[in-house]
């Protein structure tokens, strides 16, 4: 049995059927507490859909659909702290047909350990999307590349992500800045008070005194 049986709701996967294990795989484990699906029933549904597809192919004179090249984005799952374990996510979207190869590279070398992928999910305009995950420990100077190969591309699509030292102000510097800010604030209050009373004294001296 070739192909994929997937049930979705509001453009989000609810479950798909694993043909090798002949079992239903729920996108979230909580879903199966509300409903159920017999994986064997997907076989009959697939046969119906294959027959329908054959009819559509005959109507179109077996004209091949155009390949839609993918887009790709790479981002970390959590805020990056050097030395703390994290996950890089490569999100590949808007491609067709659902035949795709995703490869991770670290500092130019291919990485296979710690890599997992999702199934193909429906996207917009009869295209597909897919996620690939890489567990890693960000270190300063390391760079990672998500390489995507697809029939719609004339060459591999690559997206670079590099680990950078997070920009932050050291605690000692923060204390100095806070201290300077407080000092300038106090000086401003003192200077304002002195000028206020000095101005009042000068104004009082300018008014002529009347007869007693």
CATH code assigned at 117: 2.60.40.10
Boundary residue ending a domain (59, 80, 95): 59
Say if 207 falls within a structural domain.
no
**Is this prediction's pTM over 0.75?**
no
The pLDDT-based confidence of 185 (bands split at 50, 70, 90) is low
Tell me the pLDDT tens digit for each residue of 57-109: 788 777 777 899 999 999 999 999 999 999 999 999 999 999 999 999 999 99
With a cut of 90, say whether residue 177 has pLDDT above it.
no
Percent with pLDDT over 70 in the chain:
71
CATH code assigned at 19: 3.10.320.10
Q: Give me the mean pLDDT over the 142-170 stretch.
A: 84
Say if 1 falls within a structural domain.
no
Q: Which 3-state string (H, E, C) describes the chain?
A: CCCCCEEEECCEEEEEEECCCCEEEECCHHHHHCCCCCHHHHHHHHHHHHHHHHHHHHHCCCCCCCCECCEEEEEECCCCCCCCCEEEEEEEEEEECCCCEEEEEECCEEECCCEEECCCEECCCCCEEEEEEEEECCCCCCEEEEEEECCCCCCCEEEEEECCCCCCCCHHHHHHHHHHHHHHHHHHHHHHHHHHHHHHHHHHHHCCCCCC
Q: Which domain holds residue 175?
A: 170-201
Q: How many domains does the chain have?
A: 3
């Amino acid at each position: 049995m070739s192909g994929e049986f997937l049930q979705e709701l509001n453009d989000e996967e609810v479950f798909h059927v694993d043909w090798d294990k002949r079992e239903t795989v729920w996108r979230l484990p909580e879903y199966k507490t509300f409903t159920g699906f017999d994986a064997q029933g997907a076989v009959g549904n697939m046969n119906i859909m294959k027959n329908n597809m054959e009819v559509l192919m005959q109507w179109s004179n077996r004209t091949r659909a155009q390949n839609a090249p993918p887009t790709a984005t790479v981002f970390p799952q959590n805020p990056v702290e050097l030395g703390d374990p994290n996950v890089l996510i490569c999100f590949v979207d808007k491609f067709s047909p659902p035949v795709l190869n995703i490869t991770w590279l670290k500092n130019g070398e291919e990485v296979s350990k710690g890599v997992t992928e999702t199934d193909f999910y429906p996207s917009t305009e009869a295209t597909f999307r897919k996620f690939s995950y890489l567990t890693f420990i960000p270190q300063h100077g390391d760079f990672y590349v998500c390489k995507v190969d697809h029939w719609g591309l004339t060459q591999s699509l690559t997206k670079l992500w590099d680990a950078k030292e997070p920009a932050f102000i050291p605690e000692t510097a923060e204390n100095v800045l806070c201290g300077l800010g407080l000092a300038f604030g106090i000086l401003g209050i003192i200077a304002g008070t002195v000028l206020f009373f000095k101005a009042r004294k000068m104004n009082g001296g300018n008014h002529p005194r009347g007869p007693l």
